[in-house]
Structures are given as structure tokens and as C-alpha cells.
Amino acid sequence: MDKSRLPTSDTISRITGVSKSTVSRALKGHPSISAATRERVVAVARELGYAPNAVARSLVTRRSGVIGFIIGDMSNPFYPEQLERLLRLLALRDMQLMMFHIPPGQDVADIIPVLLQYQLDGCLVASVELSSRAGDLGARHGLPTVLINRIPANHHACAVLCNNRAGGERIARFFVERGVRRLAFVAGKALTSTSRDREAGFMAGIEATGTALFARAVGDYTFEGGYRAGLDLLALPERPDAVFSANDIMALGLLDALRAQGVAVPAEIAVAGFDDIRAASWPAYDLTTITQPIDTLLLRAIDLLAQRIADPTLPPETLYVTGQLTIRGSAC
Amino acid sequence: MDKSRLPTSDTISRITGVSKSTVSRALKGHPSISAATRERVVAVARELGYAPNAVARSLVTRRSGVIGFIIGDMSNPFYPEQLERLLRLLALRDMQLMMFHIPPGQDVADIIPVLLQYQLDGCLVASVELSSRAGDLGARHGLPTVLINRIPANHHACAVLCNNRAGGERIARFFVERGVRRLAFVAGKALTSTSRDREAGFMAGIEATGTALFARAVGDYTFEGGYRAGLDLLALPERPDAVFSANDIMALGLLDALRAQGVAVPAEIAVAGFDDIRAASWPAYDLTTITQPIDTLLLRAIDLLAQRIADPTLPPETLYVTGQLTIRGSAC
DNA sequence: CTGAAAGCGCTTACAG
DNA sequence: CTGAAAGCGCTTACAG
């Protein structure tokens, strides 16, 4: 009935008459244990609802089966969507996840001591806004770390990224093929590699056709920022024909700004985003965007992490996955 | 450089020349330690970046400083929004959070053994769809548990709820005061107390005015379900003037269905929801709704939990917080 | 195939 | 005010 009364390996040992060592080995299917002994131990353990205390096990094995998930601001729904998939994928491997939220203004470096206390097996860093010092976790503290959609500084950590550049280029090509000429870009946070790479790809795609970028605004990766960016673009002496927003959540704000100003989408201005968050497919927005292959991305990240947990001497690696253009009503 | 090289209390002990016991006491500010000793220990610990190994500490204190957060389907953005606030509030208390995701079709009962392994201090259960057996965690396994927006079966666990009934009633009153007569309700999952209580309140509010419910549809608490419910209502021989959706995410789908059918909102049909998720305030939806006081709700939940962690003999308690009507363009 | 013993890194009575 | 010792619940060489 009480927490302190959970059965221990000693309980099983006393009931079955074999030693704790044997209980431990029997339960983890160690080959040297006789079938008869194993069966008896397993039966008693099951009957008592016994499971080895994960804390004690972690202390001796130096493996906790828990990985840390580090995120910053979650107002972009893309993060929660990743989280849900991640939990599903980890459950398949019997791994648990501990959350670490870095509030605005703080940095990964600030919580490293806390992180280190918990004997985590590894870390996934999912915020594009967090400093590159996240790589320190791996390099200086021996904690296997994989960055998601973030370029590791000094190659000190692993990373899995959606090919942001290719995605930006794809959008440019899509617009240009449809004869759009006055192309605008709405940037996310200036310091993030995702925004810069998506922009670089977009620029490359435009320049390949001999044209130049028509206008640029900044939306800081937020809905409200996207809304303001939309108003900024509409205030220009001449309006763009199409806008590529560096992520979806800004694109939604942008679409609402256009709607508020009576602009017809896509007839007057076409809009495309990046991520394919759930809201992108809601009829109110119906956003053309680059769909990030989240499951693949996370699967690769988990694989990379699992390999480093198994062998910490493995060198860092950076992997790319490719997003697909999803055409919807906002640009078609 | 390596994980196994993290300094231990023994490291500090050797450097400072005091015993491990003294190191431990000095670091936690035990009053019996002399100021001089404490300062020296603290200085060395800081210099080495030492922090007590949480796993070892948990093993002896039987306190981990970690609580479990149990959620089901996260497609309703209300859950991620809670999660972010929760992380902020827990950080203030130096508590960590471990996530447990129950996939559709599974139940809390299925992960109880896993949960129990981790020496969690307590549990917060945040899914309205999970069985009432969540209360077992507290009652049968001694794990302090607080349900969020869920009525505990048999009073075996604590709970904090938004006053769902009062919210439903408030919406009814709001509609009736504006002279709306043909009121419809869109239900969430049939088995959830949130949907039932919101409906009961709505019905009570309607009946208080001598009228009756005009129409009812079911949206299963999803965006798509809300969309279908909208089409269902429009297919009726006579249309309602106003619809109360048991949560926001369904209301968004509903609004998109109305828009798709060319229905003017709120002129022809007014719409109200419940929760006040972020998307409710996006201009595309501009949804009138009951704003749940998330921070208060979570703060109360944490308090209830902290009390039970400190004294497990405390009886279960159920607390209510009150939502506020937030009037936006979808019903005004 | 099995067991006794040591040890993971802490905390906490118990002495002094 | 401080230390030696025991112990939290496991796992894992080491013997046999």
C-alpha cells in the first residue's frame, strides 16, 4: 500500500530462496541462469508486481534509461508536435524523457549543472533559439547530445536537420515556376541557422532565375511577428506577389494580416511557410509549406543518440533529412 | 571531460580535508556546520562545478525531486500550453518533470509499473480521456497524485478542476441575454466529465430561461470532429443561431465548417468555446470562450501535490477554479 | 549455475 | 561542530 513497501530484490530473494545476485540475473535473462530458477524468480516477481528500482540500478550501472529534452519557448506548435512523436518513439525503446525548459533570456549553459545531476543517458536539444553552447554538454561533460534543427558549433555535438536550404530553394522555384516575380521573405530570429539557411536557399533559388528579392521583413518566428511583418509588407509602396515565411506560425499571422487588410490570397499575394504544423492544414489557413519529416528526423536523432550512449567515443555526426513541398490553397 | 569523472562528495572531502558527512551538511546549509567550514566546502564545490548526484540522493532520501506528468493525446493544444506553464512553475521549486505519454487505446494502469520504478515524488495526470484508475496510483501505490480537469473516482486522488459547469452556464446566459433562442451544443468525448459538466451547465442555463436545447452534435474533442459537427448542424432542417462547443479546438473546426458553407459568424450563427487556447485569439477565429486560469489551476495542483509529498497521510482534496468569459468576434 | 562481497554516491542517525 | 559507519537497492566481477 505504501511506497516504501514496494518489493525489492531482497524480497524476491527471501521468497524464492535464491540470492539477490541470482534474482537480478534471472530477471534480466542472463544466460547462465537455469531455466527452473529463472521461471521461479520471474513468477514470484510478477506476482508481487516487482520491478527493479530504477534509481538503484542507475547508480550502479551509470545508465538511467532517461534522456533529457531541452526546449525553449514552446509557443511555436512545432515543438509540442515533436514532443508527442518523440515520446512515442522513445516508449518503443523503453526510454523515458525528462523535460528541461529554458525560459527566455536563459541559456542551456545555465541548466547544465542541473542536467548533470540526473545521470541522464543523453540529451536532445530542440530549440533553435538556444545558444550553440549546447554542444558543450557533449564535448565538456561527456553527455551524448543531439541537436535538432540546429547547427552544432565547432562540431562538438551531433545534429539532425531538415535540409533548410533545399526547402527555401524549393519554395523559390515553386513561386518562380508559377510566374511570380515580386518575391518577399519573412525572416525568423536573425541568429538562428534555420532562418538563415531557409533564406539562403530562397535567395539562391531566386537568383538562379536572374531576379532579385523584392522585399524582406522580420517576424521573429512568432505569430504576432508574422502579423506585423504582413502589415509591414503591405505598407510598402509596391506590394509583393508572394511571400515565403521562414516558418509556419509566422505565416499564419501573416495570412491573418493580409485578410485583415482585404488582400486576396493567393490571387493578390501567395503565401508559403515551413514546417507543416497542424494548423497549416486548417481550412482557415490552408497553408502551402515545406513538410518536415518529423518522425524520420526524430528517429535519426534517437539513433545517433543511442549510438553515442553505447559508445561515447564515436565522433559527432550531422545528418540531413529532406522536407517535401505540400501545396495547399495559400499558394497554388 | 568524461561523465564518470564528475566530482563526487568524496572529491570535495579529500580536497577540503573534511568528511563526506560534513560536505553533505555544509552544502545543504545544515545549521550545525561552522561558517568557516561551510564556506570552504561551498567554495571548492563551486570551483569544481560539483552538485550532489541526484540518483544517489534519491536512493537514500526516497525523494527524487521529480514528478511525473501523464498525458494522453496531445493534439489539443491546450495540453502543450499547460506543459509549458507547468515547467515554469516547477522550475521555481527546483522540481523536474518526467513525461509519460499514454497512446490511444492504452490506459494509465498499463504504465503504473514503469512509473513506480522511477521513485517519483508524485504525479500529475492531465488527460481528460484517461480512465479513473489513475486514482489507483495514489490509493494503491502510495504515489501522491493530482488529476487536472478530471474527477477522481471514489475520491482516491486529488483533483483540480476548472468549474466546467459554471462555465457552461455562463455561456448559456451570455447567449440568452443577447436574445439568441436556438442554441446548439457540440459535445466532446462522451465519457469525459469535462464535456458532461460543461453540457450540464449549459443545459441548466438554458432551462433557467424556460427554453430547451435546439440541437446537439458530437465532435469528440478534435478539430476534425468539430468540423464534422458543424456540417451536421448545418444539415439540419432548421439551423441554430448559436453553438457552444465543449472545447476550443472543436470550435475552430466548427468555425471553418461554417465558413466553408458561407455562414456568417456571428450574424447567422454565433460560436463559443471553452479553454482559451492560443489559437482562439488568432484573428482567423477570434473565438469567444471561457478562459481557463491555467496558472492558478496548475499552481493549485502543485500545491496539493507538494502537501501530499510532505505528508502522505493527508486526505484527497478536490479544488475548483473559475474560468472567465472572454468575448471576441465569434459571439458578441 | 549460483553466491558472498564490494561498491555506485549519497544521507543520516549515533557518538563524541 | 564533526566523523565513522551503516544503509538506500541494485549490479557485477570474482570464486567456486
Query: Which region among A47-56, B153-162, B223-232 has the lowest average model confidence (pLDDT)?
Result: B153-162
> Which residue did the predictor score with more confidence, B49 or A228?
A228
Measuring CA to CA, which residue among A186, A272, A275 is closest to residue A229?
A186
Q: What share of chain A is helix, strand, coil (3-state, %, to 5)?
A: 45, 15, 40
> pLDDT tens-digit profile of B73-129?
899 999 999 999 999 999 999 999 999 999 888 888 888 888 889 999 999 999 766
> Which residue has cell 557533449?
A138
Q: What is the pLDDT of residue A129?
A: 66
Task: List the A113 CA – C10 C1' distance (angstroms).
Answer: 17
Task: List the B134 CA – D10 C1' distance (angstroms).
Answer: 28
Q: pTM here? A: 0.92
**Local confidence pLDDT in tens for the 332 residues of chain A:** 344 468 899 899 989 989 899 999 998 888 888 888 888 889 998 988 888 999 999 999 999 999 999 998 899 999 999 999 999 999 999 999 999 999 888 888 888 888 889 999 999 999 766 666 666 776 777 889 999 998 887 777 899 999 999 999 999 999 999 999 899 999 999 888 999 999 999 999 999 988 899 999 999 999 999 999 999 999 999 999 999 999 999 999 999 999 999 999 999 999 999 999 999 999 999 999 999 999 999 999 999 999 999 988 899 999 999 999 999 999 99
Strand A288-291 with A324-326, pairing? antiparallel
Q: Which residues of B touch A83 (CB under 8 A)?
A: 74, 80, 83, 99
Per-residue pLDDT at B136 exceeds 80? no
Cell of A49: 508486481
Q: Is B59 on the interface with A (CB under 8 A)?
A: yes
Contact across the interface for B53 and A117, Cβ inside 8 Å: yes
Per-residue pLDDT at B132 exceeds 70? no
Q: Which residues of B touch A256 (CB under 8 A)?
A: 282-284
* Nearest-nucleotide field for A33 (CA, C1'): C1
CA closest to A101 among chain B residues: B87
Q: What is the pLDDT of residue B4?
A: 44
Best of A62, A117, A123 to substitute, by most chain B Cβ atoms within 10 angstroms, is A117
Which element (helix H / strand E) includes B117? Answer: helix B108-117
Average pLDDT, integer, range B24-28: 90
Sheet holding A324-326: strands in order across? A215-218, A183-187, A242-245, A270-275, A288-291, A324-326
Q: What is the pLDDT of residue A3?
A: 42
Q: What is the pLDDT of residue A158?
A: 92
Per-residue pLDDT at B26 exceeds 50? yes
- Tell me, rounded to whole angstroms, the distance of Cα A27 from its chain centroid: 35
Per-residue pLDDT at B264 exceeds 80? yes
Measured between alpha carbons, how far is A196 from A290 in angstroms, rounded to an integer? 16
Q: Which residues of A touch B278 (CB under 8 A)?
A: 75, 223
Q: What is the pLDDT of residue B3?
A: 42
B310 CB contacts (<8 Å, ≥6 apart)? none
> pLDDT tens-digit profile of B279-313?
999 999 999 999 999 999 999 999 999 999 998 88
Tell me if residue A324 falls in helix, strand or coil: strand
Measured between alpha carbons, how far is B5 from A224 in angstroms, rounded to an integer? 46
Closest residue, CA to C1' of C6: A60
Measured between alpha carbons, how far is B231 from B42 in angstroms, rounded to an integer? 66
